[in-house]
Amino acid sequence: MLIKLACSAARFLIVVLFTSIFSYAQDGATLEEEKNAIIAEGLKLVYSARYDEAIDHFRELDEIDPGSAEAIFFEAFVLELIMDVYRSQVFDDSLNSVVEKAITKAEKAVKLNPTARNYMFLGGLFGVKGVRKGILGSWFGAAMDGRKANKNFETAVKMDTSFYDSYYGIGSYHYWKTKKLKRFFGFFISDQREKGISEIIIAIDNGIFTETPGRMALFRIYIEEKRYDDVIELADLVLRETPDHLFPRWYLGIALIRTEQWKKAKDNYEHILTILPNFDFHGIEAEIEAKYYAGLAYYNLGNTENAQQMLEEIPSYKDKVNQHLFYYGNYIKDSRKILDKLKKK
C-alpha cells in the first residue's frame, strides 16, 4: 500500500513538473510572439514614414516586457533612420542620449537573462551607434562599435543558430570591415565582402524582422560594389511594397545616374524634392543632393533652362552644409562646373 501511494505521489509530482515546464515555455513563446507582432506592425509604420506612430507603437514593448531593451532599441533605430533618410542631423543629441540609456538597459538585460534575443538587441544598439558614427565621418569610432556589435551578434548565433536576424549585423560588419580597413592594413585584412553580402541575404530570407533593414544595407553595399542593376532591381521591389519609403530612392537615383538613365533619374529626384518639404526635420544636404542630381539629369537631357534653375540654388548653401557626411558629395563645386558650361553655350 505504501509503495502504491509513493508511486502515485511520484506520478503526481512528475505531472505537475512537466505541466509547469510546458506552461512556462508556452508563456515564453507567447511573449516573444506578442513582441514580434508589435515589432512587425511598428516597422510597417516606419517604412510608411509614420515615425511618431511607430515610436509610440514600439513603446508597447515596455508594457509587456519592461526589463527588455527592445522598445528603446527601436526608438534609437527610428531616430537614426530618420536622419539617414532625410540627410539630417537634427536628432543627433537625442540619439546619443537614447543609445547610451539603451545600452545600459540592454547590458543589464543580458546579465539578468542571457538569451540570444537579448544579445542580439545589445549588438543592434552598438550597430546603430556605429552606423551613425560612420555617416558622420568617424570611421575609427564606427569600427570600434561595429566590433562590439559583431561580438554580441556572434554570441546570439552561438546560443541559437536559428536566430537569423543576427546575420544582418554580422554580414554588415564583415563587409564594411573589409571595405574600410583593407586599404590601410592590406594583407592583414582578409576580403570578406562576399561573405558579408551572403550573411545579410540569410537575414533577409530567414530573419523575423530584418528583411527591410537587410535590403537597406544591401543598397549601400551594391552602390559601393558598382552593382547598379542590382540596386535598380532591389529598389523596384522595395518601392512596390512600401512606395512611401524614401530611403531606396537615394540609391536608385545614384544607380540611374551612373548608368546614364537620365529621364528616370530626373523623375526620381523630382519625386524626392516633392517629398522633402513634408518633413520639417529634413536636412539641407538632402535638398542639395536632390537638386544637384536633378540638375545633372536635366543637363544631360538637353533641358538647359531647368538644369540652370536647379543648379543655381546650390552654391548659396556653401557655408551651411556638412561636407563630412558619408553620403555627401562635392555638389557645390560640381554644380558650379556645370553652370560654367551652361554660360558658355
Q: Would you list the domain boundaries of the chain? A: 261-345
Read off the pLDDT of each residue in 240-265 and give the average, rounded to a whole number.
95
Length of the chain: 345
Check pLDDT > 90 for residue 179.
no
Check pLDDT > 90 for residue 174.
yes
Check pLDDT > 60 for residue 182.
yes
Check pLDDT > 60 for residue 3.
no
Q: How would residue 184 be classed by pLDDT, with cut points 50, 70 and 90?
A: low
The region of weakest confidence among 38-47, 63-72, 323-332 is: 323-332
Check pLDDT > 60 for residue 28.
no
> Percent of the chain, pLDDT > 90?
71
Check pLDDT > 60 for residue 27.
no
Q: How would residue 187 be classed by pLDDT, with cut points 50, 70 and 90?
A: low
Buried residues in 46-62 as b, exposed as e (16+ CB within 10 A): bbebebeebbebbebbe
Q: Which residue has the higher pLDDT, 186 or 205?
A: 205
Read off the pLDDT of each residue in 294-300 and give the average, rounded to a whole number.
97
Q: How would residue 15 be classed by pLDDT, with cut points 50, 70 and 90?
A: very low
What pLDDT is attached to residue 134? Answer: 87
What is the grid cell recorded at 90?
537634427
Check pLDDT > 70 for residue 16.
no
What pLDDT is attached to residue 300? Answer: 97
What pLDDT is attached to residue 220? Answer: 95
Read off the pLDDT of each residue in 25-39 and give the average, rounded to a whole number.
77
Cell 540570444: give the residue: 116
Q: Cα separations (Å) of 242 from 44, 182, 247, 276?
A: 8, 36, 10, 17
Read off the pLDDT of each residue in 305-315 and give the average, rounded to a whole number.
93
What is the distance between the alpha carbons of residues 210 and 172, in angstroms, rounded to a whole number?
12
What pLDDT is attached to residue 24? Answer: 38
Check pLDDT > 50 for residue 17.
no
pLDDT in tens, 85-95: 999 999 999 99
What pLDDT is attached to residue 138? Answer: 86
The region of weakest confidence among 2-6, 77-81, 113-117 is: 2-6
pLDDT in tens, 227-250: 999 999 999 999 998 887 899 999
Check pLDDT > 90 for residue 156.
yes
Q: Is 239 helix (H, G, I), strand (E, B) or coil?
A: helix
What pLDDT is attached to residue 59? Answer: 96
Q: Cα separations (Å) of 119 from 147, 164, 327?
A: 14, 13, 30
Check pLDDT > 50 for residue 20.
no
What is the grid cell recorded at 232?
535598380
Name the average pLDDT for the chain. 88
Check pLDDT > 70 for residue 11.
no
Q: Is 72 helix (H, G, I), strand (E, B) or coil?
A: helix
